[in-house]
């Protein structure tokens, strides 16, 4: 599939820059260690944008129409902000590499008023652009959930509106109506249960080692929560980043 946000801002190119900067920051001075964590978070969000929005044929930006166009333009603006933030980090890294062999010159820069302001501005830009993009991604996930709920409500109303022909006796008619309501609700429940079971079966089962992990005293260990899935599209790169 082509990139629906256009060739001006390529999500693949943006991700490559983020990955490269993450590696470079991990090997640089202490000031860049914080930036590396921020770039790490941005990379996770960018992977989510690629899998959940750009490569997802059912996402809001791929449905066509004015709404999709507006959302695509909004996404372009947010990605442009990420690109600017990464550019500031790239410029600062270039300056650091130029002064790396002269520690006193780098110390003078980072402790000077101009250097402090540049470093703080770069870090703030990374956080703001990442948070805004993540908020947009989460809002699209909530929008998809809202459309699913609306579809369920519409189906329920349609089934409730179905009436069996009235019989001559009131009791028999009441029985038929109750039977019709029960059939309709069972059909809807069965449909969504089957979808849920299919989703559960598609997930990779946990190993016995993970599910039965216990301490020596026999008390089950409490494992921290490391992520909350978007629920839209699988993305192995994003999953590995979340585990790192």
Give pLDDT tens digits for 190-211: 666 666 666 555 554 544 444 4
CA 111-115-117 angle, 5° bins: 110
Give residue 244's pLDDT.
58
Chain centre distance of CA 56: 12
Give residue 77's pLDDT.
92
* Residue 63 DSSP label: S
| Measured distance CA(80)–CA(87) in Å, rounded | 10
Give residue 152's pLDDT.
62
201 C-beta neighbours (distance < 10 Å), count: 8
Share of the chain above pLDDT 90, in %: 19
| Measured distance CA(18)–CA(123) in Å, rounded | 14
Round to the nearest angstrom and report the end-to-end CA distance of the chain: 29
Once rounded to an integer, what is the mean pLDDT over residues 158-184?
A: 53
12 C-beta neighbours (distance < 10 Å), count: 11
Query: 8-22, 149-163, 220-234: which has the minimum mean pLDDT?
Result: 220-234
What does each C-alpha distance from 138 to 7, 74, 135, 182, 234 come to in angstroms? 24, 14, 5, 36, 15
Does the pLDDT of residue 1 top 50, yes or no?
no
């Amino acid at each position: 599939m082509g990139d629906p946000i256009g060739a001006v801002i390529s999500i693949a190119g943006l991700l490559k820059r983020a990955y490269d900067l993450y590696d470079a920051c991990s090997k640089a001075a202490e000031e860049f260690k914080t930036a590396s964590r921020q770039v790490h978070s941005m990379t996770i969000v960018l992977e989510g944008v690629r899998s959940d929005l750009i490569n997802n044929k059912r996402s809001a930006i791929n449905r066509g129409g004015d709404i999709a166009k507006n959302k695509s333009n909004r996404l372009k603006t947010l990605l442009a902000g990420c690109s600017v933030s990464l550019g500031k980090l790239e410029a600062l890294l270039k300056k650091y590499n130029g002064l790396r062999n002269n520690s006193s010159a780098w110390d003078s820069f980072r402790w000077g008023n101009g250097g402090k302001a540049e470093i703080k501005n770069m870090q703030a830009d990374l956080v703001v652009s990442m948070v805004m993009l993540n908020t947009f991604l989460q809002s699209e996930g909530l929008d998809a959930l809202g459309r699913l709920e609306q579809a369920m409500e519409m189906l329920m109303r349609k089934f409730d509106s179905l009436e069996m022909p009235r019989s001559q006796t009131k009791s028999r008619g009441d029985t038929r109506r109750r039977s019709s309501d029960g059939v309709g609700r069972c059909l809807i429940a069965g449909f969504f249960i089957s979808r849920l079971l299919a989703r559960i079966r598609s997930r990779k089962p946990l190993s016995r080692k993970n599910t039965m992990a216990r301490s020596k005293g026999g008390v089950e260990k409490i494992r921290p929560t490391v992520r909350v899935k978007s629920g839209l599209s699988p993305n192995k790169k994003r999953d590995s980043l979340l585990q790192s």
